[in-house]
Every structure is written in structure tokens, then in C-alpha cells.
Amino acid sequence: MDLLYLDYNCFQRPFDKPLDARIQLEALACLEVFRRADEGMVNLVWSFIHQDEATLCPFPERKVATLRLAEICAVRRGPTKAIRDNAEAWGSSQKLSPKDALHVASALEATATHFLTCDDRLLRRAARLNLKIALMNPVD
């Protein structure tokens, strides 16, 4: 069974204003991933960085919904030295933001098969790491 790591923006995409077709498609794709996880068709990873971002979310309805979605995540990952070390290295070498680097490092630590994000820049930069994980937009 596939183990998917969703960047935090995938948890938030269904709340974004559907200003263009891309946002609408990504929102539907993210909702489909959550449906499949809820039905046991895929497994999702929830990491400490997800928890941090959800806790800091300034929008109460988004925070509550995201924390509810966390309940369907079958795999949990806390901070480790390997995650921290990888994130620090990738932040400087590939110019990943600290949060993005922590998400990618957490996905690797969890041995996720796929890393999903709506962030094109993150996909490009993470691809340069040549990791054994499929990096893709949820629509893909």
C-alpha cells in the first residue's frame, strides 16, 4: 500500500478560494486523497511539522479541520536527529525553506512512497535531491 506524505499546503488547499482551475483541481485532488486514506486505500503520514503548522494556523475552522484530518493519518513521525540534519543540509544546499526541508526530511524518514505538494518551487528544488520518493502535485 502506498504511503503518502502531504505537504501542509495539501491539508489547506480545500479551504483556498477557487479563483482558478488549478486551485479547484488541487482542492478536489487533495479531498480525494483524504477520502482514499479514510477508506484504507492509502496510508498518510502526520509529522511533528504538520502538528506545528496546524497549531499555529490563525484560522480556527482550518485548524480544527486539519487536526481532524490528522486522525486518518496512519503513520506518525516525531522529530529525529536524521530529520534535523537532512533539513539543515537541504536548506543550505538546495535553498529549501526550513519548513519545506523539514517536510521533505520527515517524508524520507517515514519511508513514504510519495511526497505531494501544491508548491511548484518546492517540487523543483526537492527533485534536485534525487531521493527515492515520488515528488508530485496531488493532481498527478
Question: What does the pLDDT look like over 71-103, one tens digit per residue?
Answer: 999 999 999 999 999 999 998 777 899 999 999
pLDDT of residue 105: 97
4 — pLDDT class (breaks 50, 70, 90): very high
- Domain 3-136 adopts which CATH fold? Rossmann fold (3.40.50)
Report the pLDDT averaged over residues 35-62: 96
20 — pLDDT class (breaks 50, 70, 90): very high
Of all helices (H) and strands (E), which one includes residue 121? Answer: helix 120-127
CA proximity to 45, closest of 108, 3, 87, 100: 3
For residue 105, give every residue at least 6 positions away whose Cβ sits within 8 Å of its Cβ, in sequence order, or none.
82, 83, 84, 86, 87, 90
Half-sphere exposure of 56 (CA within 13 A, CB side): 8
Report the pLDDT averaged over residues 101-107: 97
28 — pLDDT class (breaks 50, 70, 90): very high
